[in-house]
Structure 1
Amino acid sequence: MKRLVIKVGTAVLTQNNELALERLGNLVDLIAKLKNEKNYEVILVSSGAVGAGFTKLKLDKKQIANRQALAAIGQPLLMKHYKKKFQEYDIKCAQMLLIADDFDSRKRTKNAQNVMEILLSNNILPILNENDVIANYELLFGDNDQLAAHVAYHFKADMLAILSDIDGYYNKNPREFDDAVLQKNISFIDDCELEMKHTPNSEFATGGIVTKLKAAKFLMNNNIPMYLSSGFDLTNAYDFLVEENHKSGTLFKAQ
């Protein structure tokens, strides 16, 4: 049985200051297919708590305490929608909120690993997010790409799939250059690529292509592949994850 971590970004889950429920539903459909038809163990790392909270309370997101409050409002709202949609497939969910420190402590890491194994062995879908409410530093500088990479490593996943607002890694910025070419396979990431300008697309997002490259490099150094594709249109993700046909999207895999 394969163990797969899927990470979905804020830009995918929110649109025009509202939860993008159709895209959330499409994601659930994909995960259900992977679990029920491919017999995969799936761990979902979901951003979007702050964005979800903002749909209920319009606070100034530049202030860290406000972002924490929005995360506190938005996390249960996000879980409510996930649980309702997964119930259609008779899939039960669990929530795990983690911070970077949880992977720096051997005891806390082991505790999290024990819980994860119990959940997966009982066919429960773990939904993970960063614990933004208490993690000042992580909320300000952290991102779920890094969290997802560490989740894949510490919970012994076979692959991480990031579903984002970009459909793969290009040789140059496709939003600026019409001749940008998608790179389907990447086996090496130069350190200079990790110093590129930080360009998160969503006002709620803390990521960007650089954070995805850092996640990919960390996993490649640990012999775990990472797949990057669009979370807006899941066609390529279905082709790769379900049909095992790599038509598009970028696969980061060490040689």
Structure 2
Amino acid sequence: MKRIVIKVGSHVLTEEGEIALERMRALVDLIADLIRGGREVILVSSGAVAAGYTQLRLDRSDVAQKQALAAIGQPYLLKLYQSKFAHHGILSAQLLLSADDFDSRRRTRHARNAVEELLKHRVVPIVNENDVVATEELVFGDNDRLSAHVAHYFDADLLVILSDIDGYYDKDPHRYPDARLRKVVCALDAKELEAECTPHNAFATGGIVTKLQAADFLLKRGGRMFLASGFDLADVQSLLLEGVHRGGTLFESSDARRGEEDE
């Protein structure tokens, strides 16, 4: 795996209405280790609205006020990332994208060219949806699906989604103590993709369903996705740094899996 997209959600980045700085630092340390190991990393980060809310307590349910929070929070969030990457001597950059950027070949090409140039110079592109100007008709609505598009159109080998859950279970682990982790998933059916979104945080917009939709988008295009906990990065570190799949769920097609086994 040469190029990796890592997506981190609002629930991981916030705690009791504040930015979870220790979890952010652990994520940055992981990315720095990957870069030192010769990997290219694109970070898709939620948290702009949550970061804005730490500075000004506006009504998140009001669209205009939510957009204002995003406008306040985006530069604040980037500043936090930049300061933590600076400890590793790594630069980071901001890319704000929306759904229509991937509907236009010209816009997609320009964004890809910018990303390629940044990665060439070991700069970490930090991507977020442009919540300030995005309209209802041209919006992803969550960074899970955005990150899948970023991984596909920017030629990543793997998308890693860090969440408040440590993988994909055969039933809801919050309700059923006998739920079993599915370590490898090669295909998803319609029922799994159409269930109601159930975010577990006031600032979250997705839930397990949007993560499955992201995985399905990549599976249908020959891509791969890994879903794991963002609270404890041990499973992600094991897979990315050691090549050992201990925990978390890997979504990859059966053809890709057979190809790996044949090598």
The TM-score, its normalising length taken from structure 1, stands at 0.97
1:71-121 residue CA offsets vs partner (Å, 9 max, x unmatched): 001011111110000001000011000000000011111111111111111
Q: How many residue pairs end up in the alignment? A: 254
Match runs of 1:23-34 below 5 Å: 23-34=23-34
Report the equivalent of 1:104. Answer: 103
Q: Which residue of 1 aligns with 2:40?
A: 41
Distance in 2, Cα, partners of 1:172 & 1:190: 15
**In the alignment, is the contact (CA less than 8 A) between 1:96 and 1:126 conserved in 2?**
yes
CA shift, 1:138, in A, is 7.1
Percent identical pairs in the alignment equals 57
C-alpha separation in 2, matches of 1:102 and 1:213: 22
Q: 2:223 aligns to what SS in structure 1? A: coil
The equivalences for 1:169-248 within 5 A come to: 169-248=168-247
Q: Distance in 1 between matches of 2:135 and 2:59?
A: 16
What is the distance in 2 between the residues matched to 1:141 and 1:127?
Answer: 17
| Corresponding position of 2:70 | 71
Residue in structure 2 matched with residue 56 of structure 1 by the alignment: 55
Q: What does 1:7-26 align with in structure 2 at a 5 Å threshold?
A: 7-26=7-26
RMSD of equivalent CA atoms: 1.2
Contact 1:184–1:248 (Cα < 8 Å) also in 2: yes
Mapping of 1:63-142 within 5 angstroms? 63-137=62-136, 142=141
Deviation at 1:137, TM superposition (A): 1.7
Q: CA deviation at 1:197?
A: 2.1
- Any stretches of 5+ residues in structure 1 without a counterpart? none
**TM-score if structure 2 supplies the norm length?**
0.95
**1 CA distance for matches of 2:138 and 2:20?**
22
**Structure 2 unaligned runs (5+)?**
255-263
After TM superposition, give the deviation of residue 141 of structure 1 in Å: 6.2
C-alpha change, 1:34 and 1:182, in structure 2 (3 Å) is same
Structure 1 Cα separation of the partners of residues 115 and 69 of structure 2: 27
Alignment check: 8 A CA contact 1:94 1:126 kept: yes
Q: Distance in 1 between matches of 2:238 and 2:168?
A: 17
Deviations 1:23-45 (A, max 9, x none): 00000010000111x21000000
- CA distance in 2: counterparts of 1:141 and 1:116, whole angstroms: 20
Instruction: Compare 193-202 and 214-223 and name the one that shifted more.
Output: 193-202
